[in-house]
Amino acid sequence: MTDAAEVLGADLHLELTGAGSRRAVLIRALREAVRSGRLAPGTRLPPYRSLAADLGVARNTVADAYAELVAEGWLTSRQGSGTRVAERVATPEPERAPRDTARPLPYDLVQGKPDPAAFPRTAWLASARRALTAAPHEAFGIGDPRGRVELRRELAAYLARVRGVRTGQDRIVVCSGAAHALRLLARVVPGPWAVEAYGLPFHRGLLAEAGIRTVPVAVDEDGARPGEIPRGPRAVLLTPAHQFPTGGPLHPERRAAAVDWARATGGFVLEDDYDGEFRYDRRPVGALQGLAPDRVVLIGSVSKSLSPTLRIGWMVLPGALTDGVLAAKGEREPYSSATEQLTLADFLASGAYDRHVRRMRRRHRERRDRLVAVLAERVPGVRVTGIAAGLHAVVELPPGTEAAALAAAARHGVAVEGLGGYRHPDAVSRSGGVGGVGGGGVREGDGLVVGYATPPERLYGGALDALCNALHTALR
């Protein structure tokens, strides 16, 4: 019969090398493990029988080694508590990795980040319990590169109901977020790609790393201008629900023009649906994908609606791209966690996701309204735009003041980004003033991109005060 101590004892790796008896070698190995810090003060050692069985030595050899080290003060032994590394044993300080000594600014108004405290822990935990209880055994084996069928089925139903998407579960591929989706698509859809003249530099950078050259397309208050896509691009990356970061949905005529361009050229529209669920002062705008499922790729994720740490996104693909994307993804890696996919599937099916989005929509709208009201009262010289949807607003500034505003914000403890940082480096601007349209694709003028979702409630008022003080400093 197997000894209970042998079964229940903790594992401990020791190298029994060198001259001397087994007892002496064991004592030396234990001393070195403690001295080096590998066994920290308070660590409980395995029972005699367990360690003896693992090391292939007699039980008395381990008992004698423990007893000697207790006598020397390296270990302690107490009835009911077992044998532990003595608390007063000096161990070396762990080597510290070099770090940035700059302290983070106290007020975080950087766009695109939900408040971590708003994550629905109780509802998510309930979904996790139900999902893991109901999960088939095969869910814990090697997965399908398309993602868990339970999640793809719920996503197909949810996206059809909420975003007007036309698809089946077999055309949905789960990925780890929008960036992962773009990396996969870059391996399937050759360049160059057309992109909006304002957009995430990170996305342009990862496309460049994948060998995809990007060409800017004009942007104004009605979104991108697909009629001005030059000849050559095989895809156009758009944010139709809410142009990022300038704001505003893509005008209906331009939605149709984007689809016409794709059909005429054989290209694809890549629709980044990054905050289509968060709209405040307008009727819901359906996904562009619903107009042309054969030419539009819908890209979505839960990074802003729930948390970026979940690393769950999806692509709704035309049939012509599905096999290529699956081949690019590979048979094993990188996959999103199957347990989190199952949990999200239950979260969607139970209605918890809808309830969370509605709750966060109310909260974000209240925060946006506070931002607009405070700026109107205290800094009436600026204009706030792009506020009908999303998690940020653009504070338009007089020409030539953006750098000063960013510097003043940092001095007042506010982390915020400038509008100029989102501009495509190849975009050429012409006259037109703030809110105008540059002939090479950009609206002119300086501005700040102010996120209002991240700060905890207790800091939001202070963040708005600091922002107003910074703008006063920069604009006086």
Range of the structural domain that residue 396 is part of: 355-475
Q: Say what the pLDDT of residue 233 is.
A: 96
Does 344 share its domain with 371? no
Mean predicted confidence (pLDDT) in 271-300:
89
Determine, yes or no, domain membership for 43. yes
Torsions phi, psi for 351 (to 5 deg)? 90, 0
Who wins on pLDDT, 288 or 104? 288
Among residues 308, 327, 353, the one where a domain terminates is 353
Does 43 share its domain with 125? no
Among residues 64, 85, 106, the one where a domain terminates is 85
Which of the residue ranges 95-109, 181-195, 359-373, 435-449 would you say has the lowest mean pLDDT?
Answer: 435-449
69/74 Cα distance (integer angstroms): 5
Does 392 share its domain with 344? no
Does 422 share its domain with 280? no
Three-class SS of 62-117? HHHHHHHHHHHCCEEEECCCEEEECCCCCCCCCCCCCCCCCCCCCEECCCCCCCHH
Does 132 share its domain with 165? yes
pLDDT for residue 141 is more than 80: yes
Does 307 share its domain with 342? yes
User: What percentage of the chain reaches a pLDDT higher than 90?
Assistant: 75
Half-sphere exposure for 143 (CA within 13 Å, toward CB): 26
Helix, strand, coil share of the chain (percent; to 5): 45, 15, 40
Overall domain count for the chain: 3
Does 328 share its domain with 400? no
Mean predicted confidence (pLDDT) in 211-234:
94
Determine, yes or no, domain membership for 70. yes
Q: Say what the pLDDT of residue 95 is.
A: 59
Does 372 share its domain with 424? yes
pLDDT for residue 135 is more than 60: yes
- Dump strand ranges (E) for 144-295: 172-175, 193-196, 214-217, 219-220, 223-224, 235-238, 268-272
**CATH classification of the domain holding 74:** 1.10.10.10
Determine, yes or no, domain membership for 261. yes
**CATH classification of the domain holding 452:** 3.90.1150.10
Q: CA-based angle 384:116:98, to the nearest 5?
A: 100
Give pLDDT tens digits for 4-27.
Answer: 444 456 889 898 988 889 999 999
Does 204 share its domain with 282? yes
Does 137 share its domain with 77? no
Q: Say what the pLDDT of residue 154 is.
A: 98
Give pLDDT tens digits for 154-175.
Answer: 999 999 999 999 999 999 999 9
How many other CB atoms sit within 10 Å of the CB of residue 2? 7
Q: Say what the pLDDT of residue 143 is.
A: 81
Give pLDDT tens digits for 27-82.
Answer: 999 999 999 889 999 999 999 889 999 999 999 999 999 999 999 999 998 887 88
Residue 407's contacts (CB-CB under 8 Å, 6 or more residues apart) are 474
Does 204 share its domain with 338? yes
Determine, yes or no, domain membership for 90. no
Q: Say what the pLDDT of residue 4 is.
A: 46
Give pLDDT tens digits for 419-459.
Answer: 999 999 998 654 333 333 333 344 567 999 999 999 999 99
Determine, yes or no, domain membership for 104. no
Q: Say what the pLDDT of residue 96 is.
A: 60
Q: Say what the pLDDT of residue 247 is.
A: 86
- In this structure, what DSSP letter does residue 283 have? -
Determine, yes or no, domain membership for 113. no
Determine, yes or no, domain membership for 101. no
pLDDT for residue 334 is more than 90: no
Give pLDDT tens digits for 176-205.
Answer: 999 999 999 999 999 999 999 999 999 999
**CATH classification of the domain holding 197:** 3.40.640.10
Among residues 334, 353, 372, the one where a domain terminates is 353
Q: Say what the pLDDT of residue 437 is.
A: 34
Torsions phi, psi for 298 (to 5 deg)? -95, 130
C-alpha closest to that of 372 among 385, 362, 355: 385
Beta bridge partners of 326: none
Who wins on pLDDT, 104 or 233? 233
Q: Say what the pLDDT of residue 89 is.
A: 61
Q: Say what the pLDDT of residue 169 is.
A: 96
- In this structure, what DSSP letter does residue 427 have? -
User: How does the average pLDDT of the chain come out, rounded?
Assistant: 89
Determine, yes or no, domain membership for 98. no
Does 326 share its domain with 392? no
* Separation in Å, CA 95 to CA 98, 332, 345: 9, 35, 43
